[in-house]
Every structure is written in structure tokens, then in C-alpha cells.
Amino acid sequence: MKKIALVTGANKGIGFETAKQLAAHNIKVLLGARNETEGEKAAAALRNLSLDVTFVKLDISKSIDIDNVRKYIESEYGVLDILINNAAVFLDGAWFGNNTETVPIRTLRDTFDINYFGTVELTQELLPAIKKSGAGRIVNISSMSGSFGAHLDKEHWLYALKPYAYSASKTALNQFTVFLANALDASRIKVNAVSPGWVKTSIGSDQAPLTPEEGAKSAIAMALLDENGPTGTFSQSGESAPW
């Protein structure tokens, strides 16, 4: 029986490539996107490549969408083997500089609604289905921008880039990863965070050195971990990343 995977924010960029690469491993992929037109278009493009992909409408800032997806997975499949929490927004306006003193509270709230609260709510709602899997995998797409270690290191390339809303949301996501991995330590479920690197996406810009195909590889590796793989880690391209 095929494994079932859900990828959020999968109509473009890293999410789209993650869905594509998972499906290429003979996995049934549910392509989550908040825009129905774009989501259906993305799913159709992958089906045209003979990949088993189905669009599901999912705006993770809306509880009704989360509930609908949970019900759909439970009724159609009864189990979820892989959850890739990829959906995210960047609302700070600019990467360079430090906007901590001026970032609007609304920007913080809107960023956390997607990057943190929506991700946590979706994961909690889908945990019963993931627990039915023989080897559940949860992969949180984080960012080096959420790393305390990187931001404290004056020699790190990221040191001059301190967009507070985005960075803080990813730091919170990293802690969710650690705590959830601890809570599920006695189970077969593995929970890990990955930084895809600086990727050419709507968030990463055209100046980024990595393609979405390259950026998706870290998530794919964690999604396909065997029983001896790690849990509660933060990594990029197979290398441990500083918390």
C-alpha cells in the first residue's frame, strides 16, 4: 500500500518540488494550497508527469480548512504517513537590517498565524492519523533565520539579516519541533526541522543560489528516514544546524 503524504503551501517553490519528489518515490501526495486555482494547476502539472497527486484546499490560518483536511484524510485514507509543514509567509518587507524596534504588531501576528500557530494546529489535528502510520514522519520547514546560534555569530553570513517577525516565527517552530519530538519519543514518529538553504522562491528572491529542486532535498531526506533515523534535529543539506 502506498504511503500518504501531505505537503502544505505546495502550489509553488519548495513545496511544489517537495510534492514532486515525494510522488516520484511512489508516494500518494496531497498537495495543500490556499488558492484553489493555483493548487489545482500545480496538482494537474504533476499528474501530467504520471505522479499520484491530489489537490486539497488548505489555508493553515483557517481552522475550518484544517478540520476539512483532517476529515478528508481520515475518511479517504485512514492514515497519514508524512506531513511536510512547508507553508510560510515573509511579511517583514526586507531581509537586511534589524526591524525589531519598528515591526508592526499586525505583521508579527499575521506571520505567526501561518508560520507557527497554523502549523501547530494542523499538526495537532493530524496527529491521530499520523499515529496510525507504521513510521510517521513530520518535517517542519524552518530557516537558518530562526537560529539563535547564527544570529549570535558575527562571522555568520546571516548576522546582518534580522527580519524579526519571520525569524521569531521560525525560532518558535524550532522549539515546537524539539518539544513534539520529545512528546512522541516513545512512538515510531520522527519529528525534525530542516532549513532548505537560500532558495530562489518568492521569499528567497531571485538572488538566491539554490533552486527549489535543491532546496527540497533536505525535507525529502527527513521524510524518508528509516527507523534508525534521528528525531528532534535541525539540519541543512544533511549537516546539523545551530539552534
Chunk the chain into consecutive blocks of 10 residues (it has 243) and report each block's average pLDDT, rounded to whole numbers: 95 93 97 97 97 98 98 98 96 93 98 98 98 96 94 93 97 98 97 79 55 79 96 91 92
In the chain the beta strands, taken as DSSP E runs, fall at 4-7, 28-33, 53-57, 82-85, 97-98, 137-141, 161-162, 190-194, 234-236, 239-240
| Residue pair 208/166 in contact by the 8 Å Cβ criterion | no
Q: For residues 69 and 56, is the Cβ–Cβ distance under 8 A? A: yes
pLDDT of residue 214: 76
Sign of CA dihedral 81, 196, 111, 108: positive
Spot the catalytic one: 72, 77, 116, 164.
164
DSSP-derived letter for residue 55 is E
What is the C-alpha separation between 210 and 225, in angstroms, rounded?
23
pLDDT of residue 220: 94
Tell me, yes or no, if 166 is annotated catalytic: no
| pLDDT for the residue numbered 179 | 98
Q: How many residues does the chain have?
A: 243
Predicted pLDDT of residue 95? 87
Question: What is the predicted pLDDT for the residue at 1?
Answer: 82
Residue type, position 221, single letter: A
